[in-house]
Amino acid sequence: MSWVFLIIAGIFEIVGVTGMQIMVKGQKLKGFLIILIGFIISFTLLSLAMKTIPLGVAYAVWTGIGTVGSAIIGMLYYGESKDKLRIFFIALVVVAVIGLRLAS
């Protein structure tokens, strides 16, 4: 169950980071609420996951999910670069996260 908590925590990290982008685009209140809700849920679930998953693994997976997810959201919705090299390195992060899961 801890891994489920960790994956959902990573998804809510993406929600929180997306809230930051919404704030930057001018919707201050909406963005702030999304940040607040996203990170409260994310940190709560991360702390639950860390009861059985080691700190280093949990944090690396959580940030990996957030990094990859935020990069994909940026490419799909905010016009960020879809350069092949960027996509390659995002894929490396995914491989690393899967490797951490398999190794623990």
Query: With contact defined as beta carbons under 8 Å apart, do 35 and 21 qualify?
Result: no
pTM of the model: 0.90
pLDDT in tens, 49-59: 999 999 999 99
Phi, then psi, of 82 in degrees rounded to 5? -110, 35
Domain residue spans of the chain? 2-103
Q: Cα(23)–Cα(39) distance, rounded to whole angstroms?
A: 15
pLDDT for 103: 86
pLDDT in tens, 63-99: 999 999 999 999 999 999 999 999 999 999 999 989 9
Reply yes or no on whether the pLDDT at 104 is more than 90. Answer: no
Angle at 6 between CA 5 and CA 11, to 5 degrees: 95
